[in-house]
Amino acid sequence: MLRASTLFLARTGLEVMCRIDKDDLQKIPPRGPLIIYSNHIGQVEVPLLFSQLQPRPVTGLAKIETWDGWFLGWIFDLWGAIPIRRGEADMTAMRQALAALERGYILGIAPEGTRSKTGALIRAHPGIVTLALRSGAPLMPLAHWGGERFLPNLKRLNRTDFHIRVGKPFALDSRGQKVTKEIRQQMVDEMMYKLAALLPERYRGEYADLSKATTHFLAPRTL
């Protein structure tokens, strides 16, 4: 009951404070395991996307430092987020994420690993690749922009335009190759170009040159 109440308050409040361009969320299937990966540019995207994806069961990976603050730690526990220790192979987080996917959850991940200070994409880390290969779950890119203006707009009592775009589902396929560190990085870079293609050019950053995009390890997936 408390979880549902906080989600309702978050959704209602953010719909008042933001104009949410969310029609693309209809592309997300109503059931089944799914890894949604996105860019990370502001403070508002997590509660906004988490509440908008309801009533689907949703969880996500969040840096363990988030739990240093009592309020965010309480909210993330209430919403069932999975703490992850960045910069190391956190097998506890991996097991929890795989278990959530087995139960049919949506798992949210920001492959960049940290918030972009400029709003443009930074080079992604390949941890999501291991999770996708082990789970076999389909992936969908979800791009958003506008949320980086939330706090400045709020101070001026202005609404924020928050845009969402969702790409087509796919899976990772190693093509029979040994998945080395270099292959994992190539896989995540191919994924990030899919995400970049959904963003306005000024947000593409590290992945701005779409002519460099390859799809060697990406396989179409129907949901």
Residue 89, domain CATH: 3.40.1130.10
Bridge-based pairing of strands 170-172 and 106-109 is: unpaired
What pTM, to 2 d.p., does this model score? 0.95
Q: For residue 160, what is the enclosing H or E element?
A: strand 160-166
For 159, the domain range is 2-220
Calpha distance 94→53 (Å, rounded): 22
Residue 12 half-sphere exposure toward CB, CA atoms < 13 A: 6
Calpha distance 19→33 (Å, rounded): 29
Number of domains in the chain: 1
Mind listing the pLDDT tens digit of every residue in the chain (223 residues)? 888 899 999 999 999 999 999 999 999 999 999 999 999 998 899 999 999 999 999 999 988 888 988 888 899 899 999 999 877 778 999 999 999 999 999 999 999 989 998 999 999 999 999 999 999 999 999 999 999 999 999 999 999 999 999 999 999 999 999 999 999 999 999 999 999 999 999 999 999 999 999 999 999 998 8
- Cα–Cα distance list, 129 to 5, 49, 51, 133 (Å): 34, 22, 26, 6
Judge if the upstream peptide bond of residue 55 is cis by omega within 30 degrees of 0.
Answer: yes
